[in-house]
């Protein structure tokens, strides 16, 4: 049995002074063994990138520590290298110099540096581009340089921070395959790879083990072993079952473990501190319309629906989450089904739709209801955004508070619940009579 290469010992991370309001990572316990390819999956904002940076030593956790082969290491280590989503190449250094940069800390002679850098460039298939500058290269080539810079140090652990998400599908596939070849054929001395991703397909294709992070705060919801042989067949039944499984896990709200129980309707009651998913209403309606039409007629496998609508997990998860939050649909066992009001919404005309939407917003999103009531109680029925911002900041870091408010403002504007003036940052009641909203049949 392979020994533990890396152990994350009860890691917690929060921003600011108190772990109560701004907890990002909550008691993460994870071991990575030799020859493992671990993929950390989660919705955006669940702290997975933070976790990766803690492993890399770039960020210090507030609690807990990272053990390497059972020993604590505090400083950055050349045993660990990282590939960044945005390449993070230095534009003023050419390919060779960029790769050599990785060797800075290794105390090599210039000659050794050059030799190793050239080997790494060779390995990743960048031969002939040594003297090219990053801006002369395509996105895929740049990411290859990123890989070369990481591999040149012969890291024991390779960290990948969504390295393929900024690339087009074909290029990403190409680089993925090359990487897997190096990894499976053991042409690189790397002992373990840890990747962060939000692409379920990619994760299931690459990983030995999937670690699914829930959010608010980030904690490990589930670990799934993937026992399939490489190269994996995406069309196999086993594969798609796994994908389904992962999707379902990602969809389960973390607040209520009880909803894991087999119940027809998992109703989630959310509070004012709920981090709203950032989705555009129009996308949401597009998805609902697609769900209502053939071939689904109101009920679909979430993975198949996402696939047919060309949505990545990053895009589709917030959409599904919103549908469930607003009770336009219910999700269970990897299936999504429109509720009656969801169906009604789809069939309504524009004005009617807005009314239905407003009703659901008032009923299921406490923040919307709160803003509406506050505005209503004020004599001039208007209030600066600042006022709500302060309230939200009591509950979460100000960045997220800001995000949350923008989302609710966007939704509220669509629903004509309230109006918002960007220049004066003032929220006001669009139409004071909306209070007698009734559920349209």
Partner 1 sequence: MLYVSSLLRIKLSRWDGLALFVVITGLTLLIWGSREMTVPFTGTEPLPLSLDPIHLPYYALRTTLRMFFALFLSLLFSFVYASIAAKNKKAELILVPLLDILQSVPILGFLSITVTGFMVLFPGSLLGVECASVFAIFTSQAWNMTFSLYQSFISIPKELTEVASLYQLSPWRRYWRLEVPYAIPQLLWNMMMSVSGGWFFVVASEAITVSGHTILLPGIGSYIALASQQESIQAIFYAILTMLLVILLYDQLLFKPLLAWSDKFKAELTAHEQLPSSWVLTMIRRAKLFQILNIVWFWLMGGLDKVLQGLSLHISKLEKDHEQIYKLINKILTFSFFLFILFVFIFYGVQAYAYIFFEIPFEEVQHVCFLALMTLIRVVTLCAFASLIWVPIGVMVGLNGPLASRLQPWVQFMAAFPANLFFPIVVIVIIKYHLVPDIWLSPLMILGTQWYILFNVIGGASSIPFDFQEVTTNFHVKGWLRWKKLYLPGIAPAYITGLITAAGGSWNASIVAEYVSWGNQTIEAAGVGAYIAAATAAGDKPRILLGVVVLSCFVLILNRIFWRPLYLYTTTRYRLD
At its nearest, how many Å lie between partner 1 and the CB of residue 119?
17
* C-alpha to C-alpha distance for 347 and 241, rounded to whole angstroms: 33
Q: For residue 78, state whether it binds partner 1 (rule: CB under 8 A).
A: yes
- Pick one of 64, 134, 163, 412: the residue that binds partner 1 (CB under 8 A): 134
Q: Which of residues 37-56 bind partner 1 (CB under 8 A)?
A: 53, 56
At its nearest, how many Å lie between partner 1 and the CB of residue 424?
12
Give the C-alpha distances (Å, rounded to integers) separating 42 from 101, 152, 252, 331, 351.
31, 29, 12, 18, 36
Q: For residue 147, state whether it binds partner 1 (rule: CB under 8 A).
A: no
Q: For residue 126, state whether it binds partner 1 (rule: CB under 8 A).
A: no
* C-alpha to C-alpha distance for 211 and 209, rounded to whole angstroms: 7
- Pick one of 29, 60, 72, 92: the residue that binds partner 1 (CB under 8 A): 92
Q: For residue 111, state whether it binds partner 1 (rule: CB under 8 A).
A: no
Q: Residue 306's closest CA among 325, 283, 326, 327?
A: 283
At its nearest, how many Å lie between partner 1 and the CB of residue 48?
16
Number of Cα atoms under 13 Å in the Cβ half of residue 432: 7
Decide whether 209 or 385 has the Cβ nearer to partner 1. 385
- Pick one of 28, 81, 200, 302: the residue that binds partner 1 (CB under 8 A): 81
Q: For residue 82, state whether it binds partner 1 (rule: CB under 8 A).
A: yes
In the numeric block, the tokens 């659901």 are attached to: 360
- Pick one of 14, 37, 84, 164: the residue that binds partner 1 (CB under 8 A): 84
Angle at CA of residue 126, ends 124 and 127, nearest 5°: 115
> 254 burial class (0-12, 13-18, 19+ CB within 10 angstroms)?
middle
Q: For residue 230, state whether it binds partner 1 (rule: CB under 8 A).
A: no
Q: Which range of residues in 131-139, 252-260, 325-333, 371-379 is near partner 1 by CB under 8 A?
A: 131-139
Q: For residue 120, state whether it binds partner 1 (rule: CB under 8 A).
A: no
Task: Provide the token pair at 91.
Answer: 């534009």
Decide whether 101 or 290 has the Cβ nearer to partner 1. 101
Strand positions, DSSP E, 248-356 = 299-301, 329-332, 335-338
Buried-state track 190-207, b at ≥16 Cβ within 10 A, e below 16: bbbbbbbbbbbbbbbbbb
At its nearest, how many Å lie between partner 1 and the CB of residue 104?
5
Q: For residue 209, state whether it binds partner 1 (rule: CB under 8 A).
A: no
Q: For residue 144, state whether it binds partner 1 (rule: CB under 8 A).
A: no
At its nearest, how many Å lie between partner 1 and the CB of residue 167?
14
At its nearest, how many Å lie between partner 1 and the CB of residue 299?
42
Q: For residue 108, state whether it binds partner 1 (rule: CB under 8 A).
A: no
At its nearest, how many Å lie between partner 1 and the CB of residue 99?
11
Summarize as ranges the residues that interact with partner 1 (CB under 8 A): 53, 56-58, 76, 78, 80-82, 84, 86-88, 90-93, 101-105, 133-136, 142, 149, 153, 423
């Amino acid at each position: 049995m392979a020994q533990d290469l890396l152990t994350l010992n009860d890691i917690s991370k929060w921003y600011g002074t108190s772990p109560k309001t701004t907890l990002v990572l909550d008691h993460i316990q994870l071991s990575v063994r030799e020859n493992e390819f671990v993929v950390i999956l989660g919705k955006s904002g669940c702290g997975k990138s933070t976790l990766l940076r803690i492993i890399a030593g770039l960020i210090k956790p507030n609690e807990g520590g990272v053990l390497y082969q059972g020993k604590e290491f505090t400083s950055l280590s050349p045993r660990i290298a990282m590939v960044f989503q945005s390449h993070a190449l230095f534009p003023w250094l050419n390919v060779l110099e960029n790769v050599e940069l990785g060797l800075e800390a290794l105390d090599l002679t210039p000659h050794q540096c050059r030799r190793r850098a050239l080997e790494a460039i060779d390995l990743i298939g960048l031969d002939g581009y040594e003297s090219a500058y990053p801006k002369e290269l395509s996105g895929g080539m740049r990411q290859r340089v990123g890989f070369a810079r990481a591999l040149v140090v012969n890291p024991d652990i390779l960290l990948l921070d969504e390295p393929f998400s900024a690339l087009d599908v074909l290029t990403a596939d190409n680089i993925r395959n090359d990487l897997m070849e190096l990894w499976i054929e053991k042409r690189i001395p790397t002992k373990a790879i840890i990747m962060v991703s939000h692409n379920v397909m990619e994760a299931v294709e690459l990983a030995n083990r999937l670690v699914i992070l829930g959010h608010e705060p980030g904690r490990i919801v589930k670990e799934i072993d993937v026992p399939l042989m490489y190269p994996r067949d995406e069309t196999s039944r086993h594969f798609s079952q796994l994908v389904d499984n992962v999707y379902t896990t990602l969809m389960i709200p973390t607040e209520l473990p009880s909803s894991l129980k087999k119940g027809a309707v998992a109703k989630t009651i959310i509070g004012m501190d709920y981090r709203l998913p950032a989705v555009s209403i129009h996308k949401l309606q597009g998805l609902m319309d697609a769900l209502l039409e053939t071939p689904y007629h109101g009920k679909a496998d979430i993975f198949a629906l996402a696939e047919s609508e060309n949505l990545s997990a990053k895009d589709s998860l917030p959409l599904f989450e919103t549908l469930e939050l607003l009770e336009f649909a219910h999700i269970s066992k990897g299936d999504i089904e429109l509720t009656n009001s969801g169906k009604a919404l789809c069939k309504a005309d524009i004005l009617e739709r807005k009314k239905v939407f407003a009703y659901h917003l008032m009923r299921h999103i406490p923040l919307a209801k709160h803003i509406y009531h506050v505005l209503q109680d004020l004599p001039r029925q208007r209030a600066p955004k600042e006022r709500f911002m302060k309230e939200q900041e009591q509950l979460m870091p100000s960045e997220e508070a800001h995000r949350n408010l923008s989302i609710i403002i966007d939704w509220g504007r669509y629903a004509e619940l309230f109006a918002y003036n960007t220049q004066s940052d003032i929220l006001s009641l669009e139409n004071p009579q909306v209070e007698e909203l009734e559920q349209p049949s």
